[in-house]
Amino acid sequence: MLGRLHFAPWQYGLAFTIPCVGGLIGSRLARRLVARFGRHQVMLTAGTLRACWPVGLAFIGPGIAGLVLVMTVELGLITCIGVFNPVYAAYRLEQTPPDRVARTLSAWSVTSNAVVAALTALWGVLASLTSLRAALALAGLLLLATPLLLPRHDPAPPGKR
């Protein structure tokens, strides 16, 4: 963004600072949305919406329009993540037997960090072989398939099986 799109450093900072408010908004909304629409519906909706936003990053251009696009896409993405993550974490922990919660959280943390590192490196290589826009577009398109991995049914809690 600083080199190819000629954003000033303050614009780069603004592009990623303002959208972080979406995480706060999303996390504050999560409980109310679950109370109103149910955990499973919120998880599916927010999980699907968070996969739609990254495609927009492939269309970023220079100038104010590009800055507004980055802020809009990131705000939408981070807000959806702010709703989804606490609901999904509660769902996963509810499915975990009580004697395995610590191990599950440790494994979850390690694998999440490892996957982020591996995919960052992989997409860096892809971007260097193709172009930044092509790598972003491909990542966005692949993310559109991730809602298919979400649980389709809300299983009974472990005590009621």
Kindly report the pTM of this predicted structure: 0.82
22/2: higher pLDDT: 22
- The residue among 158 and 72 whose pLDDT is bigger is 72
Kindly report, residue by residue over 23-60, the tens digit of the pLDDT: 999 999 999 999 999 999 999 999 999 999 988 888 88
Residue 113's SS3 state is helix
Q: In the prediction, which pLDDT does 84 show?
A: 95
In the chain, domain spans? 9-150
Alpha-carbon distances, residue 29 vs 42, 43, 126, 134, 150 (angstroms): 11, 13, 36, 34, 20
User: Mean pLDDT, to the nearest integer, of 1-26?
Assistant: 82
CATH 1.20.1250.20 describes domain 9-150: yes
For residue range 95-153, what is the model confidence (pLDDT) as tens digits?
A: 899 999 999 999 999 999 999 999 999 999 999 999 888 998 899 899 999 888 887 77
User: What pLDDT was estimated at residue 161?
Assistant: 46
The whole-angstrom separation of Cα 14 and Cα 31 is 28
Q: Which pLDDT score is estimated for 6? A: 74
